[in-house]
Amino acid sequence: MQSLLSLSHSPSTPHVPNFTPRPKFPPPPQLHPFNAFSLPPSSPLLLTATKSSPFLTSSPKVASFRLLAASITDARSEEPAKASGLVKTLQLGAMLAFWYILNIYFNIYNKQVLKVYPFPATVTAFQFGFVSLVINLIWTFNLHPRPSISGSQLAALLPLAMAHTLGNVLTNISLCKVTVSFTHTIKAMEPFFTVLLSALFLGQMPTFWVFSSLLPIVGGVALASMTEVSFNWIGFATAMAANITNQSRNVLSKKMMTSEE
Protein backbone atom coordinates (compact mmCIF):
# COMPACT_ATOMS: atom_id res chain seq x y z
CA MET A 1 0.00 0.00 0.00
CA GLN A 2 2.76 2.40 0.89
CA SER A 3 4.51 1.49 -2.30
CA LEU A 4 1.41 2.42 -4.25
CA LEU A 5 1.15 5.75 -2.48
CA SER A 6 4.76 6.50 -3.05
CA LEU A 7 4.35 5.58 -6.68
CA SER A 8 1.41 7.85 -7.09
CA HIS A 9 3.29 10.83 -5.56
CA SER A 10 6.61 10.23 -7.11
CA PRO A 11 8.14 13.17 -8.97
CA SER A 12 8.38 11.27 -12.19
CA THR A 13 4.63 10.69 -12.36
CA PRO A 14 2.61 13.62 -13.81
CA HIS A 15 -0.16 14.99 -11.65
CA VAL A 16 -3.62 14.74 -13.27
CA PRO A 17 -6.42 16.54 -11.40
CA ASN A 18 -9.83 15.08 -10.98
CA PHE A 19 -11.98 16.00 -14.15
CA THR A 20 -15.75 15.97 -14.05
CA PRO A 21 -17.41 15.96 -17.52
CA ARG A 22 -20.06 18.71 -18.28
CA PRO A 23 -23.60 17.55 -18.69
CA LYS A 24 -24.89 17.44 -22.26
CA PHE A 25 -28.18 19.22 -23.04
CA PRO A 26 -30.33 18.62 -26.10
CA PRO A 27 -30.13 21.31 -28.83
CA PRO A 28 -32.87 23.97 -28.79
CA PRO A 29 -35.74 23.44 -31.16
CA GLN A 30 -35.58 25.37 -34.44
CA LEU A 31 -38.54 27.74 -34.71
CA HIS A 32 -39.78 29.46 -37.86
CA PRO A 33 -39.49 33.25 -37.52
CA PHE A 34 -43.17 33.76 -38.32
CA ASN A 35 -44.48 30.82 -36.37
CA ALA A 36 -42.31 31.22 -33.31
CA PHE A 37 -44.92 33.15 -31.44
CA SER A 38 -48.02 31.78 -33.15
CA LEU A 39 -50.66 30.16 -31.08
CA PRO A 40 -53.10 27.51 -32.14
CA PRO A 41 -56.59 28.72 -32.92
CA SER A 42 -57.96 26.96 -29.86
CA SER A 43 -55.47 28.57 -27.51
CA PRO A 44 -57.19 30.21 -24.52
CA LEU A 45 -54.82 33.17 -24.73
CA LEU A 46 -55.74 33.85 -28.35
CA LEU A 47 -59.43 33.44 -27.66
CA THR A 48 -59.23 35.81 -24.73
CA ALA A 49 -57.37 38.44 -26.77
CA THR A 50 -59.85 38.11 -29.62
CA LYS A 51 -62.85 38.54 -27.39
CA SER A 52 -61.38 41.43 -25.44
CA SER A 53 -59.91 43.45 -28.37
CA PRO A 54 -62.43 45.80 -30.07
CA PHE A 55 -60.22 46.04 -33.19
CA LEU A 56 -60.46 42.33 -33.99
CA THR A 57 -64.23 42.04 -33.86
CA SER A 58 -66.98 43.84 -35.71
CA SER A 59 -68.64 46.43 -33.48
CA PRO A 60 -70.16 49.93 -33.81
CA LYS A 61 -66.87 51.40 -32.65
CA VAL A 62 -65.01 49.65 -35.46
CA ALA A 63 -67.60 50.79 -37.99
CA SER A 64 -67.38 54.39 -36.82
CA PHE A 65 -63.59 54.21 -36.88
CA ARG A 66 -63.62 52.90 -40.45
CA LEU A 67 -66.11 55.61 -41.48
CA LEU A 68 -63.90 58.28 -39.92
CA ALA A 69 -60.83 56.91 -41.71
CA ALA A 70 -62.71 56.86 -45.03
CA SER A 71 -63.87 60.45 -44.54
CA ILE A 72 -60.32 61.56 -43.76
CA THR A 73 -59.10 59.83 -46.93
CA ASP A 74 -61.83 61.50 -49.01
CA ALA A 75 -61.01 64.87 -47.48
CA ARG A 76 -57.35 64.42 -48.33
CA SER A 77 -58.23 63.47 -51.90
CA GLU A 78 -60.45 66.56 -52.20
CA GLU A 79 -57.69 68.91 -51.03
CA PRO A 80 -55.85 68.98 -54.42
CA ALA A 81 -59.15 69.66 -56.22
CA LYS A 82 -59.95 72.54 -53.88
CA ALA A 83 -56.43 73.90 -54.31
CA SER A 84 -56.70 73.78 -58.10
CA GLY A 85 -60.11 75.47 -57.94
CA LEU A 86 -58.69 78.22 -55.75
CA VAL A 87 -55.80 78.73 -58.17
CA LYS A 88 -58.20 79.03 -61.11
CA THR A 89 -60.33 81.53 -59.19
CA LEU A 90 -57.27 83.62 -58.38
CA GLN A 91 -56.15 83.48 -62.00
CA LEU A 92 -59.58 84.64 -63.18
CA GLY A 93 -59.60 87.47 -60.65
CA ALA A 94 -56.12 88.55 -61.70
CA MET A 95 -57.12 88.52 -65.37
CA LEU A 96 -60.23 90.62 -64.66
CA ALA A 97 -58.21 93.13 -62.64
CA PHE A 98 -55.57 93.31 -65.40
CA TRP A 99 -58.27 93.83 -68.03
CA TYR A 100 -59.88 96.58 -65.95
CA ILE A 101 -56.55 98.40 -65.50
CA LEU A 102 -55.78 98.14 -69.23
CA ASN A 103 -59.25 99.44 -70.06
CA ILE A 104 -58.73 102.52 -67.88
CA TYR A 105 -55.33 103.17 -69.45
CA PHE A 106 -56.75 102.66 -72.95
CA ASN A 107 -59.54 105.20 -72.46
CA ILE A 108 -57.23 107.86 -71.03
CA TYR A 109 -54.54 107.34 -73.67
CA ASN A 110 -57.15 107.14 -76.42
CA LYS A 111 -58.49 110.55 -75.40
CA GLN A 112 -54.97 112.02 -75.52
CA VAL A 113 -54.40 110.60 -79.00
CA LEU A 114 -57.74 111.95 -80.26
CA LYS A 115 -56.84 115.40 -78.97
CA VAL A 116 -53.68 115.41 -81.07
CA TYR A 117 -55.09 113.47 -84.02
CA PRO A 118 -58.88 114.09 -84.19
CA PHE A 119 -59.73 111.40 -86.73
CA PRO A 120 -61.71 108.74 -84.85
CA ALA A 121 -62.31 106.44 -87.82
CA THR A 122 -58.57 106.26 -88.61
CA VAL A 123 -57.71 105.68 -84.97
CA THR A 124 -60.27 102.87 -84.82
CA ALA A 125 -58.82 101.32 -87.99
CA PHE A 126 -55.33 101.31 -86.46
CA GLN A 127 -56.67 99.76 -83.27
CA PHE A 128 -58.44 96.95 -85.11
CA GLY A 129 -55.46 96.44 -87.40
CA PHE A 130 -53.13 95.97 -84.44
CA VAL A 131 -55.52 93.46 -82.87
CA SER A 132 -55.70 91.54 -86.16
CA LEU A 133 -51.89 91.44 -86.32
CA VAL A 134 -51.63 90.09 -82.78
CA ILE A 135 -54.26 87.42 -83.44
CA ASN A 136 -52.47 86.29 -86.61
CA LEU A 137 -49.18 86.01 -84.71
CA ILE A 138 -50.91 83.89 -82.07
CA TRP A 139 -52.24 81.58 -84.78
CA THR A 140 -48.89 81.48 -86.61
CA PHE A 141 -46.92 80.39 -83.53
CA ASN A 142 -49.66 77.94 -82.47
CA LEU A 143 -50.27 79.74 -79.19
CA HIS A 144 -53.97 79.15 -79.84
CA PRO A 145 -55.56 76.87 -82.45
CA ARG A 146 -56.84 78.59 -85.56
CA PRO A 147 -60.64 78.22 -85.74
CA SER A 148 -62.26 76.79 -88.84
CA ILE A 149 -65.24 78.92 -89.87
CA SER A 150 -67.78 77.79 -92.42
CA GLY A 151 -69.57 80.07 -94.85
CA SER A 152 -72.79 80.07 -92.85
CA GLN A 153 -70.92 80.91 -89.65
CA LEU A 154 -69.10 83.75 -91.38
CA ALA A 155 -72.41 85.14 -92.64
CA ALA A 156 -73.80 85.01 -89.10
CA LEU A 157 -70.71 86.67 -87.60
CA LEU A 158 -70.64 89.50 -90.13
CA PRO A 159 -73.49 91.56 -88.60
CA LEU A 160 -71.94 91.15 -85.14
CA ALA A 161 -68.58 92.35 -86.42
CA MET A 162 -70.17 95.34 -88.12
CA ALA A 163 -72.08 96.32 -84.96
CA HIS A 164 -68.93 95.95 -82.86
CA THR A 165 -66.87 98.07 -85.27
CA LEU A 166 -69.54 100.76 -85.51
CA GLY A 167 -69.82 100.89 -81.72
CA ASN A 168 -66.08 101.52 -81.37
CA VAL A 169 -66.12 104.22 -84.06
CA LEU A 170 -69.02 106.00 -82.36
CA THR A 171 -67.29 105.77 -78.98
CA ASN A 172 -64.15 107.38 -80.41
CA ILE A 173 -66.24 110.14 -81.99
CA SER A 174 -67.80 110.83 -78.61
CA LEU A 175 -64.36 110.92 -76.97
CA CYS A 176 -63.33 113.56 -79.50
CA LYS A 177 -66.17 115.85 -78.41
CA VAL A 178 -66.57 115.31 -74.64
CA THR A 179 -64.55 114.06 -71.69
CA VAL A 180 -63.82 110.41 -71.00
CA SER A 181 -65.89 110.44 -67.82
CA PHE A 182 -68.94 111.89 -69.55
CA THR A 183 -68.72 109.42 -72.45
CA HIS A 184 -68.68 106.47 -70.07
CA THR A 185 -71.41 108.04 -67.95
CA ILE A 186 -73.62 108.03 -71.04
CA LYS A 187 -72.53 104.46 -71.79
CA ALA A 188 -73.84 103.46 -68.37
CA MET A 189 -77.23 103.40 -70.13
CA GLU A 190 -76.30 100.08 -71.76
CA PRO A 191 -78.51 98.01 -69.40
CA PHE A 192 -81.51 100.13 -70.41
CA PHE A 193 -80.94 99.41 -74.10
CA THR A 194 -80.31 95.74 -73.35
CA VAL A 195 -83.73 95.42 -71.73
CA LEU A 196 -85.38 97.45 -74.52
CA LEU A 197 -83.84 95.46 -77.39
CA SER A 198 -84.43 92.14 -75.63
CA ALA A 199 -88.11 93.00 -75.38
CA LEU A 200 -88.27 94.04 -79.05
CA PHE A 201 -86.27 91.23 -80.69
CA LEU A 202 -86.33 88.36 -78.18
CA GLY A 203 -89.73 88.88 -76.60
CA GLN A 204 -88.26 88.94 -73.09
CA MET A 205 -90.41 91.37 -71.14
CA PRO A 206 -88.74 92.88 -68.05
CA THR A 207 -90.16 92.28 -64.61
CA PHE A 208 -91.24 95.06 -62.28
CA TRP A 209 -88.00 94.82 -60.29
CA VAL A 210 -85.83 94.98 -63.41
CA PHE A 211 -87.73 98.01 -64.64
CA SER A 212 -87.42 99.65 -61.21
CA SER A 213 -83.67 99.08 -61.15
CA LEU A 214 -83.32 100.98 -64.43
CA LEU A 215 -84.89 104.17 -63.09
CA PRO A 216 -81.84 105.25 -61.02
CA ILE A 217 -79.58 104.64 -64.04
CA VAL A 218 -81.71 106.75 -66.35
CA GLY A 219 -82.10 109.48 -63.73
CA GLY A 220 -78.36 109.55 -62.99
CA VAL A 221 -77.44 109.86 -66.67
CA ALA A 222 -80.00 112.65 -67.14
CA LEU A 223 -78.67 114.51 -64.12
CA ALA A 224 -75.06 114.11 -65.27
CA SER A 225 -75.96 115.36 -68.75
CA MET A 226 -77.67 118.49 -67.44
CA THR A 227 -74.75 119.40 -65.16
CA GLU A 228 -71.91 118.49 -67.54
CA VAL A 229 -69.67 121.45 -68.32
CA SER A 230 -68.28 119.98 -71.54
CA PHE A 231 -71.69 118.92 -72.85
CA ASN A 232 -71.82 118.48 -76.61
CA TRP A 233 -74.74 117.14 -78.57
CA ILE A 234 -72.56 115.23 -81.00
CA GLY A 235 -70.66 113.60 -78.16
CA PHE A 236 -73.90 112.80 -76.34
CA ALA A 237 -75.63 111.40 -79.45
CA THR A 238 -72.69 109.26 -80.56
CA ALA A 239 -72.31 107.80 -77.05
CA MET A 240 -76.01 106.90 -77.08
CA ALA A 241 -75.65 105.41 -80.56
CA ALA A 242 -72.68 103.38 -79.33
CA ASN A 243 -74.92 101.99 -76.59
CA ILE A 244 -77.49 100.92 -79.18
CA THR A 245 -74.95 99.26 -81.50
CA ASN A 246 -73.13 97.45 -78.70
CA GLN A 247 -76.33 96.12 -77.17
CA SER A 248 -77.62 95.17 -80.62
CA ARG A 249 -74.51 93.03 -80.94
CA ASN A 250 -75.25 91.36 -77.61
CA VAL A 251 -78.90 90.73 -78.45
CA LEU A 252 -78.00 89.31 -81.86
CA SER A 253 -75.44 87.02 -80.24
CA LYS A 254 -78.07 85.81 -77.78
CA LYS A 255 -80.56 85.23 -80.59
CA MET A 256 -78.02 83.25 -82.62
CA MET A 257 -77.08 81.04 -79.68
CA THR A 258 -80.75 80.45 -78.84
CA SER A 259 -81.55 79.44 -82.43
CA GLU A 260 -78.59 77.03 -82.52
CA GLU A 261 -79.73 75.35 -79.28
Helices 151-177 + 120-140 axis angle, to 10: 140
In a domain, 119, yes or no: yes
Contact, 209 vs 198, CB < 8 A?
Answer: no
- pLDDT above 90 covers a percentage of the chain that reads 42
Task: Report CA torsion sign: 62, 65, 71, 77.
Answer: negative
Band (pLDDT 50/70/90 cuts) for residue 41 is: very low
In a domain, 225, yes or no: yes
- pLDDT above 70 covers a percentage of the chain that reads 68
- Is residue 170 packed enough to be buried (19+ CB in 10 Å), middle (13-18) or exposed (0-12)? buried
In a domain, 237, yes or no: yes
Band (pLDDT 50/70/90 cuts) for residue 22 is: low
Q: Give Dmax over CA atoms of the chain in angstroms.
A: 160
Amino acid 29: pLDDT: 54
Amino acid 6: pLDDT: 47
Cβ partners under 8 Å of residue 134, min gap 6: none
In a domain, 236, yes or no: yes
In a domain, 219, yes or no: yes
In a domain, 136, yes or no: yes
In a domain, 28, yes or no: no
Per the structure, how many domains does the chain have?
1
In a domain, 87, yes or no: no
Lowest mean pLDDT among 24-38, 102-116, 142-156: 24-38
- Residues spanned by the domain of 171: 101-147+163-260
Amino acid 46: pLDDT: 43
